């Protein structure tokens, strides 16, 4: 069963259970998938859906930060709930040791030295860790590793 089918089945389950908050989050995700399909005139595969989920998660996490800064805890809790729902559709997250190993392998493969080589290393790292790690944190780790 494809990831899109799984999401659709979860939407039906939430609809039957009358779980309006979960249903809203899943519908939002399906709408984002449909938007990409219509805009690009393609059928999104599982890798594309993972990329869409990551993008939506980033939006939600940014919203949580902004809502908390504005003192809107109620809206922040709603966004955090959506983060929890969307996170379920990502593959298993890589642990710190695996991330470090991938970074080291990418640096060795690109023969990277110095902070100017981040642009060479990140595409290699992203190809191996897409959907399995927060790329902003990974980028910070790569930068720290390449900075003397």
pLDDT tens over the chain, length 148 residues: 899 999 999 999 999 999 999 999 999 999 999 999 999 999 999 889 998 998 999 999 999 999 999 999 999 999 999 999 999 998 888 888 999 999 999 888 888 777 888 888 899 898 888 778 888 889 899 998 888 7
Burial status of residue 112 (CB atoms within 10 A of its CB: 0-12, 13-18, 19 or more) = buried
pLDDT at 25: 96
Cα 57 to Cα 89: distance, rounded to the nearest angstrom? 11
* Domains of the chain, residue spans: 3-87, 96-146
pLDDT at 30: 97
Cα 63 to Cα 61: distance, rounded to the nearest angstrom? 5
**108: Cβ contacts below 8 Å, ≥ 6 apart:** none
pLDDT at 113: 79
User: What topology does CATH give the domain 3-87?
Assistant: Hypothetical Protein Yqey; Chain: A; domain1 (1.10.1510)
Cα 53 to Cα 60: distance, rounded to the nearest angstrom? 10
pLDDT at 77: 96
Cα 72 to Cα 88: distance, rounded to the nearest angstrom? 25
pLDDT at 74: 95
């Amino acid at each position: 069963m494809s990831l899109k089918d799984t999401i659709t089945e979860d939407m039906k389950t939430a609809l039957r259970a009358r779980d309006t908050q979960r249903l809203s989050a899943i519908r939002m995700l399906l709408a984002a998938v449909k938007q990409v399909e219509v805009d690009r005139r393609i059928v999104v595969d599982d890798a594309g859906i993972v990329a869409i989920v990551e993008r939506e998660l980033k939006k939600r996490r940014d919203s949580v930060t902004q809502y908390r800064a504005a003192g809107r805890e109620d809206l922040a809790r709603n966004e955090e709930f959506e983060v929890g729902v969307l996170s379920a559709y990502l593959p298993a997250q890589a642990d710190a040791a695996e991330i470090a190993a991938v970074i080291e392998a990418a640096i060795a493969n690109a023969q990277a030295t110095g902070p100017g080589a981040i642009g060479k290393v990140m595409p290699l790292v992203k190809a191996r860790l897409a959907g399995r790690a927060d790329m902003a944190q990974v980028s910070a780790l790569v930068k720290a590793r390449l900075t003397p």
